[in-house]
Amino acid sequence: QVQLVESGGGLVQPGGSLRLSCAASGNIFSIYVMGWYRQAPGKQRELVAVIISDGSTNYVDSVKGRFTISRDNAKNTVYLQMNSLKLEDTGVYYCNARVGVVHYWGQGTQVTVYS
């Protein structure tokens, strides 16, 4: 079992920045991939960024150059630094951890970009 707790969401104007955190606990040594997903109102949940156990990363095209996923192994925490935020980045952001074929999810944190 893996437990994930997100924090760091909030309200921000276009062009602003936020940093999301996801603290993992439990069977963390079995985690292969961690990532961030988001779900906008009325839309399906989509993958935003992932970081694999070897440190490699991948991003959805719409956030490339603006978002950065990173991790602090000592703190068992994954971060999502979000810069140059746009209205369309609004949504609930979920942390995800993959252990084999099993996905674990956090409770989600709201990010609202408003003008």
Give the span between the Cα atoms of 36 and 22, in whole angstroms: 9
Q: In 3-state terms, what secondary structure has residue 1?
A: coil
CA proximity to 59, closest of 67, 49, 69, 51 = 49
pLDDT tens per residue across all 115 residues of the chain: 999 999 999 999 999 999 999 999 998 888 889 999 999 999 999 999 999 989 999 999 999 999 999 999 899 999 999 999 999 999 999 999 999 999 999 999 999 999 9
